[in-house]
Amino acid sequence: VDHLVGIRDLTRQDIELIFKTADSFKEVINRPIKKVPSLRDITIANLFFENSTRTRLSFELAEKRLSADVVNFSASSSSVKKGETLIDTVNNILSMKVDMVVMRHPNPGAAKFLSERTNTCVINAGDGTHEHPTQGLLDAFSIRERLGSVEGKKVVIVGDILHSRVALSNIYTLQKLGAEVMVCGPTTLIPKYIDTLGIKVEHNLRRALEWCDVANMLRIQLERQDIQYFPSLREYSMQYGLNKEILDSLDKEIIVMHPGPINRGVEITSDVADSRQSIILQQVENGVAVRMAVIYLLAAKIGR
Ligand code: CP
Protein backbone atom coordinates (compact mmCIF):
# COMPACT_ATOMS: atom_id res chain seq x y z
CA VAL A 1 0.00 0.00 0.00
CA ASP A 2 1.21 3.50 -0.77
CA HIS A 3 1.28 6.28 1.81
CA LEU A 4 2.33 9.89 2.33
CA VAL A 5 4.34 9.65 5.54
CA GLY A 6 6.97 12.30 4.77
CA ILE A 7 8.43 14.45 1.99
CA ARG A 8 11.72 12.65 2.50
CA ASP A 9 10.24 9.65 0.63
CA LEU A 10 9.20 11.70 -2.44
CA THR A 11 11.16 12.51 -5.60
CA ARG A 12 11.14 15.86 -7.39
CA GLN A 13 8.96 14.21 -10.07
CA ASP A 14 6.42 13.11 -7.41
CA ILE A 15 6.19 16.69 -6.10
CA GLU A 16 5.87 18.17 -9.59
CA LEU A 17 3.04 15.70 -10.38
CA ILE A 18 1.24 16.71 -7.16
CA PHE A 19 1.58 20.39 -8.14
CA LYS A 20 0.30 19.80 -11.71
CA THR A 21 -2.68 17.89 -10.31
CA ALA A 22 -3.26 20.62 -7.70
CA ASP A 23 -3.29 23.24 -10.51
CA SER A 24 -6.31 21.46 -12.04
CA PHE A 25 -8.07 21.13 -8.68
CA LYS A 26 -7.46 24.80 -7.91
CA GLU A 27 -9.40 25.65 -11.08
CA VAL A 28 -12.18 23.30 -9.93
CA ILE A 29 -12.55 24.84 -6.48
CA ASN A 30 -12.71 28.34 -7.95
CA ARG A 31 -15.76 27.37 -10.03
CA PRO A 32 -19.33 27.86 -8.71
CA ILE A 33 -19.63 24.06 -8.48
CA LYS A 34 -16.55 23.15 -6.47
CA LYS A 35 -16.92 19.35 -6.59
CA VAL A 36 -15.72 16.58 -8.89
CA PRO A 37 -17.09 13.02 -8.75
CA SER A 38 -13.58 11.42 -8.80
CA LEU A 39 -13.67 9.55 -5.45
CA ARG A 40 -17.35 8.70 -5.10
CA ASP A 41 -16.59 5.14 -3.93
CA ILE A 42 -13.91 6.01 -1.36
CA THR A 43 -14.32 6.41 2.39
CA ILE A 44 -11.70 8.41 4.28
CA ALA A 45 -11.24 8.68 8.06
CA ASN A 46 -9.64 11.82 9.49
CA LEU A 47 -8.02 10.85 12.80
CA PHE A 48 -6.92 13.79 14.92
CA PHE A 49 -5.03 12.91 18.10
CA GLU A 50 -3.87 16.54 18.40
CA ASN A 51 -5.62 19.89 17.90
CA SER A 52 -5.94 21.41 14.45
CA THR A 53 -7.98 24.03 12.62
CA ARG A 54 -6.48 24.43 9.13
CA THR A 55 -5.28 20.90 8.41
CA ARG A 56 -8.42 19.16 9.67
CA LEU A 57 -10.86 21.41 7.81
CA SER A 58 -8.67 21.52 4.72
CA PHE A 59 -8.49 17.71 4.47
CA GLU A 60 -12.22 17.40 5.07
CA LEU A 61 -13.02 19.97 2.38
CA ALA A 62 -10.55 18.34 -0.03
CA GLU A 63 -12.20 14.95 0.53
CA LYS A 64 -15.72 16.33 0.13
CA ARG A 65 -14.75 18.22 -3.04
CA LEU A 66 -13.53 14.91 -4.46
CA SER A 67 -16.94 13.39 -3.50
CA ALA A 68 -15.42 10.94 -0.98
CA ASP A 69 -17.37 9.81 2.09
CA VAL A 70 -15.76 11.25 5.21
CA VAL A 71 -15.70 10.31 8.90
CA ASN A 72 -13.99 12.44 11.52
CA PHE A 73 -12.39 11.19 14.71
CA SER A 74 -11.10 13.35 17.52
CA ALA A 75 -9.10 11.51 20.19
CA SER A 76 -10.32 13.78 22.97
CA SER A 77 -13.93 12.59 22.53
CA SER A 78 -13.11 8.93 21.72
CA SER A 79 -12.47 5.61 23.46
CA VAL A 80 -8.72 6.42 23.37
CA LYS A 81 -9.61 8.17 26.64
CA LYS A 82 -10.63 4.72 28.00
CA GLY A 83 -7.24 3.24 27.13
CA GLU A 84 -7.74 1.89 23.58
CA THR A 85 -4.47 1.73 21.62
CA LEU A 86 -3.77 3.49 18.31
CA ILE A 87 -3.65 0.22 16.36
CA ASP A 88 -6.87 -1.11 17.94
CA THR A 89 -8.58 2.22 17.26
CA VAL A 90 -7.54 2.24 13.61
CA ASN A 91 -8.28 -1.46 13.00
CA ASN A 92 -11.79 -0.96 14.40
CA ILE A 93 -12.33 2.02 12.10
CA LEU A 94 -10.95 0.04 9.13
CA SER A 95 -13.45 -2.78 9.87
CA MET A 96 -16.13 -0.29 8.89
CA LYS A 97 -14.73 -0.41 5.31
CA VAL A 98 -12.58 2.72 5.39
CA ASP A 99 -10.11 3.00 2.47
CA MET A 100 -7.75 5.74 3.60
CA VAL A 101 -6.64 7.32 6.87
CA VAL A 102 -5.45 10.90 7.44
CA MET A 103 -3.77 11.14 10.82
CA ARG A 104 -2.37 13.88 13.06
CA HIS A 105 -0.57 12.59 16.13
CA PRO A 106 1.69 14.17 18.80
CA ASN A 107 4.36 11.44 18.49
CA PRO A 108 7.09 11.64 15.83
CA GLY A 109 6.96 8.46 13.70
CA ALA A 110 3.28 7.74 14.44
CA ALA A 111 2.27 7.83 10.76
CA LYS A 112 5.06 5.44 9.75
CA PHE A 113 4.22 3.16 12.67
CA LEU A 114 0.60 3.01 11.52
CA SER A 115 1.51 2.49 7.86
CA GLU A 116 3.63 -0.53 8.80
CA ARG A 117 1.06 -2.17 11.07
CA THR A 118 -2.28 -1.69 9.34
CA ASN A 119 -3.61 -2.56 5.92
CA THR A 120 -4.60 0.93 4.79
CA CYS A 121 -3.26 3.96 3.00
CA VAL A 122 -1.96 6.53 5.53
CA ILE A 123 -1.55 10.28 4.98
CA ASN A 124 0.46 12.07 7.65
CA ALA A 125 -1.28 15.29 8.76
CA GLY A 126 1.59 16.08 11.17
CA ASP A 127 3.45 13.71 13.50
CA GLY A 128 4.82 15.54 16.53
CA THR A 129 8.00 17.46 15.76
CA HIS A 130 8.82 15.25 12.72
CA GLU A 131 7.04 16.03 9.42
CA HIS A 132 3.92 17.77 8.10
CA PRO A 133 4.20 16.78 4.45
CA THR A 134 1.07 18.43 3.05
CA GLN A 135 2.13 21.72 4.72
CA GLY A 136 5.56 21.46 3.04
CA LEU A 137 3.82 20.86 -0.30
CA LEU A 138 1.29 23.69 0.03
CA ASP A 139 4.01 26.12 1.11
CA ALA A 140 6.19 25.32 -1.91
CA PHE A 141 3.11 25.37 -4.18
CA SER A 142 2.33 28.88 -2.87
CA ILE A 143 5.90 30.08 -3.56
CA ARG A 144 5.68 28.64 -7.09
CA GLU A 145 2.34 30.42 -7.60
CA ARG A 146 3.67 33.80 -6.43
CA LEU A 147 7.20 33.70 -7.90
CA GLY A 148 6.67 31.46 -10.96
CA SER A 149 8.98 28.70 -9.71
CA VAL A 150 10.78 27.40 -6.64
CA GLU A 151 14.07 26.55 -8.38
CA GLY A 152 16.84 28.98 -7.40
CA LYS A 153 14.73 30.93 -4.91
CA LYS A 154 16.17 31.77 -1.47
CA VAL A 155 13.87 30.80 1.40
CA VAL A 156 14.54 31.43 5.07
CA ILE A 157 12.57 29.58 7.74
CA VAL A 158 12.58 31.69 10.91
CA GLY A 159 11.91 30.70 14.50
CA ASP A 160 11.29 27.55 16.46
CA ILE A 161 12.92 25.02 14.13
CA LEU A 162 13.57 22.60 17.03
CA HIS A 163 9.89 21.88 17.71
CA SER A 164 8.62 22.33 14.16
CA ARG A 165 7.39 19.61 11.79
CA VAL A 166 6.67 22.31 9.22
CA ALA A 167 10.38 23.21 9.05
CA LEU A 168 11.59 19.73 8.13
CA SER A 169 8.89 19.14 5.49
CA ASN A 170 9.60 22.59 4.03
CA ILE A 171 13.35 21.95 3.95
CA TYR A 172 12.93 18.61 2.11
CA THR A 173 10.37 20.00 -0.38
CA LEU A 174 12.33 23.16 -1.16
CA GLN A 175 15.65 21.33 -1.54
CA LYS A 176 14.11 18.74 -3.87
CA LEU A 177 12.72 21.57 -6.02
CA GLY A 178 16.12 23.33 -6.22
CA ALA A 179 15.63 26.22 -3.78
CA GLU A 180 18.34 27.52 -1.44
CA VAL A 181 17.24 27.11 2.18
CA MET A 182 18.34 28.86 5.36
CA VAL A 183 17.07 28.55 8.93
CA CYS A 184 17.23 31.49 11.33
CA GLY A 185 16.65 31.57 15.08
CA PRO A 186 18.34 31.45 18.47
CA THR A 187 20.84 28.60 18.97
CA THR A 188 18.48 27.03 21.53
CA LEU A 189 15.79 26.58 18.85
CA ILE A 190 17.99 25.18 16.05
CA PRO A 191 18.21 21.35 16.23
CA LYS A 192 21.53 19.53 15.81
CA TYR A 193 20.26 17.54 12.80
CA ILE A 194 20.29 20.77 10.74
CA ASP A 195 24.05 20.28 10.20
CA THR A 196 23.34 17.07 8.28
CA LEU A 197 20.92 18.72 5.82
CA GLY A 198 23.31 21.01 3.93
CA ILE A 199 21.42 24.23 4.62
CA LYS A 200 22.56 27.64 5.86
CA VAL A 201 22.11 28.67 9.51
CA GLU A 202 21.87 32.34 10.50
CA HIS A 203 21.26 33.76 13.97
CA ASN A 204 20.69 37.36 12.88
CA LEU A 205 17.22 38.11 11.47
CA ARG A 206 18.26 41.20 9.47
CA ARG A 207 21.05 39.33 7.68
CA ALA A 208 18.63 36.46 6.92
CA LEU A 209 16.04 38.85 5.50
CA GLU A 210 18.66 40.65 3.39
CA TRP A 211 19.60 37.26 1.89
CA CYS A 212 16.15 35.81 1.13
CA ASP A 213 13.33 36.11 -1.41
CA VAL A 214 10.83 34.46 0.97
CA ALA A 215 10.61 34.42 4.77
CA ASN A 216 8.52 31.68 6.36
CA MET A 217 7.83 32.74 9.96
CA LEU A 218 7.17 29.91 12.42
CA ARG A 219 5.20 29.97 15.62
CA ILE A 220 6.96 29.46 18.95
CA GLN A 221 5.54 26.13 20.06
CA LEU A 222 5.12 26.82 23.75
CA GLU A 223 3.24 23.54 24.20
CA ARG A 224 6.41 21.60 23.26
CA GLN A 225 8.93 23.78 25.15
CA ASP A 226 10.96 23.35 28.23
CA ILE A 227 10.65 27.00 29.15
CA GLN A 228 13.91 27.26 31.10
CA TYR A 229 16.05 26.73 27.95
CA PHE A 230 14.22 29.30 25.98
CA PRO A 231 14.61 33.08 25.61
CA SER A 232 11.53 34.85 26.99
CA LEU A 233 8.79 35.63 24.46
CA ARG A 234 9.64 39.32 24.81
CA GLU A 235 13.33 38.72 24.05
CA TYR A 236 12.39 36.41 21.18
CA SER A 237 10.03 38.97 19.72
CA MET A 238 12.61 41.75 19.95
CA GLN A 239 15.30 39.71 18.18
CA TYR A 240 13.33 37.52 15.76
CA GLY A 241 9.87 39.09 15.41
CA LEU A 242 9.13 40.35 11.90
CA ASN A 243 7.72 43.88 11.92
CA LYS A 244 6.94 46.51 9.28
CA GLU A 245 9.96 48.61 10.20
CA ILE A 246 12.47 45.84 9.31
CA LEU A 247 10.48 44.80 6.25
CA ASP A 248 10.34 48.37 4.88
CA SER A 249 14.05 48.95 5.55
CA LEU A 250 15.07 46.15 3.15
CA ASP A 251 16.08 47.21 -0.36
CA LYS A 252 13.69 44.65 -1.93
CA GLU A 253 10.20 43.31 -1.41
CA ILE A 254 10.26 39.82 0.09
CA ILE A 255 7.31 37.40 0.37
CA VAL A 256 6.12 36.65 3.92
CA MET A 257 4.64 33.28 4.85
CA HIS A 258 3.34 31.64 8.02
CA PRO A 259 1.82 28.15 8.37
CA GLY A 260 -0.56 29.27 11.17
CA PRO A 261 -1.70 29.49 13.85
CA ILE A 262 -0.12 32.94 14.26
CA ASN A 263 0.91 34.37 17.59
CA ARG A 264 0.35 37.98 16.57
CA GLY A 265 2.94 40.31 18.10
CA VAL A 266 5.40 37.49 18.85
CA GLU A 267 6.91 36.07 15.62
CA ILE A 268 5.08 38.52 13.35
CA THR A 269 3.21 41.79 13.85
CA SER A 270 -0.34 42.24 12.58
CA ASP A 271 0.62 44.91 10.05
CA VAL A 272 3.03 42.42 8.40
CA ALA A 273 0.71 39.40 8.64
CA ASP A 274 -2.07 41.40 6.96
CA SER A 275 0.16 43.21 4.44
CA ARG A 276 0.36 42.92 0.65
CA GLN A 277 3.64 41.01 1.03
CA SER A 278 1.97 38.29 3.10
CA ILE A 279 0.60 35.17 1.35
CA ILE A 280 -0.66 33.55 4.56
CA LEU A 281 -4.27 33.17 3.44
CA GLN A 282 -3.22 32.04 -0.06
CA GLN A 283 -1.28 29.23 1.66
CA VAL A 284 -4.49 28.15 3.38
CA GLU A 285 -6.47 28.40 0.13
CA ASN A 286 -3.87 26.33 -1.72
CA GLY A 287 -3.93 23.68 1.02
CA VAL A 288 -7.28 22.37 -0.19
CA ALA A 289 -6.14 21.94 -3.83
CA VAL A 290 -2.83 20.36 -2.78
CA ARG A 291 -4.59 17.92 -0.42
CA MET A 292 -7.11 17.05 -3.15
CA ALA A 293 -4.14 16.22 -5.40
CA VAL A 294 -2.42 14.06 -2.76
CA ILE A 295 -5.61 12.10 -2.01
CA TYR A 296 -6.52 11.71 -5.69
CA LEU A 297 -3.04 10.43 -6.67
CA LEU A 298 -2.86 8.02 -3.71
CA ALA A 299 -6.36 6.69 -4.47
CA ALA A 300 -5.22 5.98 -8.04
CA LYS A 301 -2.14 4.17 -6.68
CA ILE A 302 -4.24 1.89 -4.47
CA GLY A 303 -6.52 1.17 -7.42
CA ARG A 304 -9.55 3.22 -6.37
N1 CP B 1 -0.72 24.78 9.74
C2 CP B 1 -1.34 23.90 10.54
O3 CP B 1 -1.00 22.71 10.59
O4 CP B 1 -2.38 24.42 11.27
P5 CP B 1 -3.33 23.56 12.23
O6 CP B 1 -2.50 23.07 13.39
O7 CP B 1 -4.43 24.50 12.64
O8 CP B 1 -3.84 22.40 11.42
Q: What's the CATH code of the domain at 242?
A: 3.40.50.1370
Give residue 183's pLDDT band: very low, low, confident or very high (50, 70, 90): very high
Residues 32-44, mean pLDDT to the nearest whole number = 95
- Residue located nearest, by CA, to atom 4 of ligand 1: 54
Is residue 126 located within the same domain as residue 167?
no
CB 8 within 8 A of CB 196: no
Structural domain boundaries enclosing 178: 134-279
Q: What pLDDT digit, counting tens, does each position of 277-303 carry? A: 999 999 999 999 999 999 999 999 988
**Among 3, 65, 112, 132, the one annotated catalytic:** 132
Is residue 144 located within the same domain as residue 270?
yes
Check pocket membership of 52 for ligand 1, CB cut-off 6 A: yes
Residues 101-117, mean pLDDT to the nearest whole number = 97
Cα–ligand 1 centroid distance for 291 (angstroms): 13
ipTM: 0.98
Check pocket membership of 54 for ligand 1, CB cut-off 6 A: yes
In the residue annotation, 21 being an active-site residue is answered as no
Cα–ligand 1 centroid distance for 144 (angstroms): 21
Is residue 25 located within the same domain as residue 87?
yes
pTM for this model (two decimals): 0.96
**Among 104, 105, 163, 176, the one annotated catalytic:** 104
The atom number, within ligand 1, closest to the CA of 259 reads 1
The count of other CB atoms within 10 Å of the CB of residue 50 is: 20
In the residue annotation, 82 being an active-site residue is answered as yes
Is residue 170 located within the same domain as residue 42?
no
Residue 228 has pLDDT above 90, yes or no: no
Give residue 233's pLDDT band: very low, low, confident or very high (50, 70, 90): confident
Q: What pLDDT digit, counting tens, does each position of 133-143 carry? A: 999 999 999 99
Is residue 80 located within the same domain as residue 104?
yes
**Among 11, 31, 81, 82, the one annotated catalytic:** 82
The answer as to whether 2 is a domain residue is no
The answer as to whether 1 is a domain residue is no
Residues 160-178, mean pLDDT to the nearest whole number = 97
Is residue 38 located within the same domain as residue 156?
no
| Calpha distance 142→285 (Å, rounded) | 9
pLDDT for 227 equals 54
Mean pLDDT check: name the lowest of 107-121, 152-166, 229-243: 229-243
| From 48, 55, 257, 291, mutation site for ligand 1 pocket: most ligand atoms within 8 A of C-beta | 55
The answer as to whether 272 is a domain residue is yes
Backbone angles phi, psi at 197, to 5 degrees: -100, -5
Q: Domain total for the chain? A: 2
